Structure 1
Amino acid sequence: MMIDIAVVDYGMGNLRSVSKALEHVAPNKNVAVTSSAKEILDAERVVFPGQGAMPDCMRELESRGLRDAIVQSAASKPFLGICIGLQLLFQHSEEGDANGLGILAGKVKRFASDAMYDAEGSKLKVPHMGWNQVYQKQDHPMWKDIPDGERFYYVHSYYVQPDDESLVAGVTEYPKAFTGAIAHNNIFAVQFHPEKSQHAGLQLLSNFVQWNGKS
């Protein structure tokens, strides 16, 4: 059976919650968690999630022979990156001094925990964990029916810094603005976890299922 939505499994993170959320918003679609390069390449659209450290993720992608399938999918079909799946799209990360896939120009930086204070002067914790607002920086089909400033769920210590600011589709403040979402052609990727973000997250996933890969 043709896979409509491939959720990439490279051994990093619990992917069941992602696939269950997609099945909820797209009950008539064939959603499959897969580590098969062929199935990923043949799928109509691809979700690239992940948790863990960037060097480990890159090592697993390489060892499972999935790098080329991800690069080709990110160039050719609706593609959604989630959390580490966003960070891996860029060239280099401060986490383990690791190279990413280099699909997009930019770097992944760590929150400067010694300089993180909110407006009241209270020290902010790293990792950034919990609900926070996402402010939309461009009009995009993936934001359909999602209010500007909606809250999504985050768990991360690193954030992406694209070379091209026009890639930024959404920002979140902690305490300064950082990239919460990027958009480039058929790629949309988010630092937050839509599968853990209740109604707003399900709306984003629903938008992805309907998105034709054009902005």
Structure 2
Amino acid sequence: MYVSIVDYGTGNLNSVSKALEVAAEQISKKINIKISNKPKDILDSDKIILPGQGSYRQCALGVKNINGLWDSLNEFVLVKKKPIFGICVGMQLFSEQGYEEQVTEGFGWIKGSVKKIEINNKDLKLPHMGWNEVNVLKKNDLFLDIKNLSHFYFVHSFAFKAKDEEDVICITDYEKPVVAGILKENIFGTQFHPEKSQSNGIKLLSNFLNWNLL
């Protein structure tokens, strides 16, 4: 299996790569992991991971500034219909637009937008940072053998507002429900960082490597 981690100048690329290696070992699966931003590498992959750190606008422009990368990701997801895993801002880019810094166009694969988390409780701060429970709403293979309400690691101030609740696979609570994961056909993403979430994160990555859409 050939898995590409998309390099567009942001995200914990090496951490994601190392976590993927551990995940592959745990399921005795031989995978070729490549960190790349070359359109050919993306299109030749069996699965891809789109990480993301920083602002929505910074990440969107990072992808667009690499010749052919935006189009190759669209082809991979919409035409080839192969699995993608977006992490943090990588998942947020699945939306139609983000409102961080200024309104910025996303891929539009999932209807919705990304807006700043609204909190009234003065004891809660932004960014929402640290471990939090994740409530899985839809039965699926990606959270197979992960106990519901397990803890995962978050770092974010903006959250996905999905237009269709069916696209939300899991939520977390930060004064109010916040989207923690998105799933639509071959498109999967989490607001939390699996590569920072210890054994639960490794298991999730293993499940992604095993994920069969057929």
Name the TM tier (shorter chain). Answer: over 0.9
State the Cα distance separating 1:143 from its structure 2 match.
0.7
Q: 1:213 to 1:79 in 2, by over 3 A?
A: farther
- C-alpha deviation, 1:133, in angstroms: 0.4
Correspondence list, 1:1-215, <5 A = 4-27=2-25, 28-65=30-67, 66-75=69-78, 76-96=81-101, 97-113=103-119, 115=120, 117=121, 123-213=123-213
Cα deviation 1:21-41 (Å, max 9, x = unaligned): 001111421011111111011
Q: Which runs of 5+ in 2 are unaligned?
A: none
The one-letter amino acid of 1:213's match is L
Root-mean-square deviation (CA, aligned residues, Å) is 1.2
Moved more, 10-19 or 192-201: 10-19
CA contact (8 A) 2:110 2:167 kept: no
Q: Which secondary structure does the structure 2 equivalent of 1:112 belong to?
A: coil
Q: Secondary structure at the match of 2:34?
A: strand
Count of matched residue pairs? 206
Q: Deviations over 1:133-175 (max 9, x none)?
A: 0000100100100011000000000000111110010000001
The answer to whether the 8 Å contact 1:187/1:213 transfers is: no
2:63 partner SS: helix
CA distance in 2, matches of 1:103, 1:54: 15
Runs of at least 5 residues in structure 1 that lack an aligned partner in the other structure? none
Structure-2 separation of matches of 1:124 and 1:33: 36
Q: What SS does the corresponding residue of 2:206 show, helix, strand or coil?
A: helix
The answer as to whether partners of 1:47 and 1:81 remain within 8 angstroms in 2 is yes
Which amino acid in structure 1 is aligned with residue 105 of structure 2?
N
Q: Normalising by structure 2, what TM-score? A: 0.93
Partner Cα separation in structure 2 for residue 5 and residue 107 of structure 1: 28
In 2, the alpha carbon distance for the partners of 1:152 and 1:14 equals 16
The separation in 1 between residues aligned to 2:76 and 2:146, in whole angstroms, is 26
Whether the 8 Å CA contact 2:17–2:33 is kept in 1: the answer is: yes
The structural deviation recorded for 1:93 is: 1.1
Q: Percent identity?
A: 40
Q: How big is the shift at 1:14?
A: 2.6
Task: State TM-score, norm by structure 1.
Answer: 0.92
Partner SS, residue 25 of structure 1: helix
